[in-house]
Structure 1
Amino acid sequence: MKLKISVLNLTSIIVILCLILELIIYKKISFFFTTNILFAVASFFLIISLFWSVLYSGAFDFFHFSMKKVTTRMRREDNSEEVENIPLSKSVGHGYKMPLKVGLLLLIISLVTLFFHYFF
């Protein structure tokens, strides 16, 4: 049986783990500490997924092609055989969407807990 993890399942697991971590570190649960921990986890997911998104967009394809060309010339003397050129955007894939959704959902939860901290 293959276990498929959805965005909501992963987000709820992360929130529960953050609450357990908060209980271990601070010995209590408060909106302020929850906001801090969830924001740190959300920023990790967002930074990784946005960097992955930039690679997928093709922004570094020419740089990757140029560096690959230079390194292959440095390794061998004759340029008779050409190396297959696979763009960097095709090799990283589009798996950035799930961490992006999880990061955005965690950021929204973090902002909601910050709102509750200040107004309740």
Structure 2
Amino acid sequence: MLRDGFDIGLWFVVGLVFTVTAVAALVLAAMARADAYRAADKQTKNFWLIMLGVTVLVNFLGIFFLQIAGLVASIVFLVDVRPALRQVSGGGGRRGGSSSDGPYGPYNGGR
């Protein structure tokens, strides 16, 4: 009996993690500009919105093997597409730097 309660709680947490990941990816995909997808040479914004929207829907329906496929799509977006979008949109992750900054600080042209 205790084991059954643990299994239900575990599956609830797993499903919640899948759903939160998919919703976060969907929101981030919706916030990016459509031309950034083309500039980053990724699929279109509509493609990602549909893919991640279906993923959110599948997570709410609770179809486990499709949830796993949706999690893979969400991870691909978060790990591959979003950093490329940020790079072409000018949000490369550095805050307050200039265009002459290198990986270890400002480049002063050998001065």
TM range (shorter): 0.3 to 0.5
Q: Bigger radius of gyration, 1 or 2? A: 1
TM-score by length of 1: 0.34
TM-score by length of 2: 0.36
